[in-house]
Amino acid sequence: MDETGHLPQAVEPLQEAGVDTSNEGEHHSRLVFLNHMISSSRSRAAQEHKPPLHSADELLRFLERRVQQGFAIEFFDAERNDSNDDAERVKDGVGSDFIRLKKITFTEVNSRRYATLLFDAVDQAIRSMPVLHVVSMKGRDIAGDEHERGSFSAHVVVRLPSGDDRDDGTYRCVVESVAGISRRTIGTFFRRQLRRVAKLNGFEFPIPREGKRGPKKPGSAKYHPDLTLVADVSRAMAGIDREVSQMVFTKRSERQTIADQTEVIQDEVVADVELRISAKQGPSDPNERKGWLLTLRRIYEERGFKTRLFFKHRSGKSTSGSLHDGMDAATDMLLCPKEEIVTEGAPRKWVDEIQTDVRDAMIALLDRDELWNRNAA
């Protein structure tokens, strides 16, 4: 609008077309990823000694207490994450990019239990945002004050066992697709936070020991729990002209027991372990092979191995399933099964509270069995 109160000629066609700049009453779709959240425990004890598993409910309750204390935050700077004193670590982290678990709630709907997590992340490089006036067509940057930076929010909803349901450590999980918060970032948060929980609570488990004259007093080994987000890659790749050619499982600092066949003496060494499994060893039927690959992946990831997938294009070229860190959003988009939810109002990049319409729509997806049966749930 000019000084006389008239609209510029360039935007008169917009008015004549009846353009409405408000979003009231509109419905908008959001993209979400279908995943499984898997609870596992990791230790440097010999492979035959299995650390105890914790339920997702128990681990999320630990994180809930850390939210209340203001310690459920991880900075993307190794030097700022070294301190065992959480208060000191948070104080030193000012000025670094971070991911934080802002809110966590537990809900019961139709006798089923759900946990809703609201993450937010900050990118210190973003200090302003561009906006465009849709009438005058003039744009500008809106800047925050000296301590305000660009931020993003993402919801994660997990279905927990209820009543007499069997808890096998695998849980249906829906993750909101947000460019600034990836599954890898959330996984890093879980791993670091639960390591801190284990250290503060002294998580240990007994290790039986054998002596020359029989069993000795049991020793102990430290361990830490973890929550991992796992996607059904085979389903996501179904419409792409590629097939899995091999899977590589890697575990750093695995403790191995080495014994000579003719001697009683045995030694333990710590070494990096890499297992490379060709997809050709699996069933010839494509559907059976997908199930075989998923089972292998789940078994080794529960033992603490990291998975790397290699795909073979129909043309014969091979590509890796691991992308550059800056391509996290593209990785999630490529590898995860996707669904859409519809909510009122335009999606916002950052929210201060859990959005109930987003949560309820994600819960509805968790209860659609046909989606998860295709995921080999």
* Chain position carrying tokens 């066992």: 161
pLDDT at site 320: 46
Worst-scoring range by mean pLDDT, 31-35, 130-134, 155-159, 175-179? 130-134
User: Where is pLDDT greater, at 203 or 77?
Assistant: 203
Contact 241, 316 (CB under 8 A): no
Q: Per-residue pLDDT for 4 more than 80?
A: no
Question: Which H or E element spans position 13?
Answer: helix 12-16
pLDDT at site 348: 82
Q: pLDDT (tens digit, 9 = 90+) per residue, 129-140?
A: 888 888 989 989
102: three-class secondary structure by DSSP:
strand
DSSP 319-359: EES---GGGHHHHHHHHS-EEEEEEES---S--SS--HHHH
Contact 155, 355 (CB under 8 A): yes
| Cα gap 275→256, rounded to integer Å | 14
| Cα gap 7→170, rounded to integer Å | 59
pLDDT at site 256: 47
Confidence of residue 278 (pLDDT cuts 50, 70, 90): confident
CA dihedral of residues 70, 71, 76, 81 (deg, nearest 10): 140
Q: What angle do CA 368, 31, 242 make, to 5 degrees?
A: 90
Burial code of 313-348, b = ≥16 C-beta within 10 A, e = fewer?
A: eeeeeeeebebeeeebbebbeebbbebebebeeebe
* Chain position carrying tokens 């050619």: 245
User: Where is pLDDT greater, at 331 or 242?
Assistant: 331
Worst-scoring range by mean pLDDT, 89-93, 226-230, 290-294? 290-294
> Is the whole-model pTM more than 0.85?
no
Contact 130, 141 (CB under 8 A): yes
Question: Which H or E element spans position 35?
Answer: strand 27-43
CA distances from 333 to 31, 178, 297, 338, 371 (A): 10, 11, 20, 8, 17
Q: Per-residue pLDDT for 54 more than 90?
A: yes
Confidence of residue 376 (pLDDT cuts 50, 70, 90): very low
User: Where is pLDDT greater, at 154 or 343?
Assistant: 154
**Mean of the pLDDT values across residues 64-89?**
84
pLDDT at site 59: 97
Tell me the pLDDT of the chain averaged across its residues.
77
DSSP 257-288: EEE-TT-S-EEEEEEEEEEEEEGGGS-SSHHH
CA dihedral of residues 146, 77, 67, 367 (deg, nearest 10): 110
**Mean of the pLDDT values across residues 175-179?**
91
